[in-house]
Amino acid sequence: MIRLQNIEKVYRTDTIETLALNSISLDVEKGEFLSIMGPSGCGKSTLLNIMGLLDAPSKGDVRIDDQTTQHLSDKQLANFRNQKLGFIFQSYHLINDLQVLDNVELPLLYRNTTAKQRKLLASEALAKVGLTNRIKHFPTQLSGGQRQRVAIARAIVGRPEIILADEPTGNLDSAMGNEIMEILMQLNKEDGTTIVMVTHDENMANKTHRLVRLFDGAQVQ
């Protein structure tokens, strides 16, 4: 589903060069739930952003669903992301002055969907994460766990084949974190969604199919 070959990422500023990823090759199978662990600054977010076509590698090849991506234009990349990928971040990235339902509808605005269909699909996604009774709330009126559930609904509303989650439970207490993990596991098991999740939590990582460890930009396990 995702194939990374010899990925290297160098960040350059005027004075310093950081090798954030060093020769990473990794295959993620369709239907797999993979976790990525490693100390702060080891390149986890960089790797996830490259998998999600949010950032380009300095060297190497990213294939998604057997398609090479390096020659796609920005517009093609945006389309590709919108169709195939759902993103979840540690700090939710919701739009605070939009109601929950409108937040979840957002990815559909870039597709040919009628307003009625958008509402229906967004309501279905919110039902899946157990938030049917909060659709008219604003994000600031919700708990952290509820906000992350809205973010998951937004990630799945377009029925992506792949979900990329960067420390999705990082801001949550363990009870709320477990709830989020249950939802991700259910999406993986019932819908066959391929999931790659960065986490600091061994317990969460142990619930996934496979764990990749990074250290200083290299894969060590």
Q: Which residues bind Mg ion (CB under 5 A)?
A: 44-45
CB of 167 to ligand ADP, least distance (A): 8
| 199 neighbors 205 (Cβ within 8 angstroms) | yes
CA angle 133, 89, 124 (to 5 degrees): 30
Complex with ligand ADP: residue 41 or 192, whichever CB lies closer: 41
The one segment of 40-48, 95-103, 135-143, 150-158 that binds ligand ADP by CB under 6 A: 40-48
CA distances from 56 to 46, 69, 211 (A): 10, 9, 24
The Cα–Cα gap between 61 and 5 comes to 5
Q: Which of 6, 25, 29, 41 binds ligand ADP (CB under 6 A)?
A: 41
Q: Is 23 in the site for ligand ADP (CB under 6 A)?
A: no
The Cα–Cα gap between 109 and 114 comes to 9
The one segment of 43-51, 76-84, 129-137, 138-146 that binds ligand ADP by CB under 6 A: 43-51
CA angle 125, 158, 52 (to 5 degrees): 120
CB of 80 to ligand ADP, least distance (A): 22
Q: Is 45 in the site for ligand ADP (CB under 6 A)?
A: yes
CA 207 to chain centre: 17
Complex with ligand ADP: residue 10 or 185, whichever CB lies closer: 10
Give me the residues that bind ligand ADP (CB under 6 A), please.
Answer: 11, 18, 20, 38, 40-46
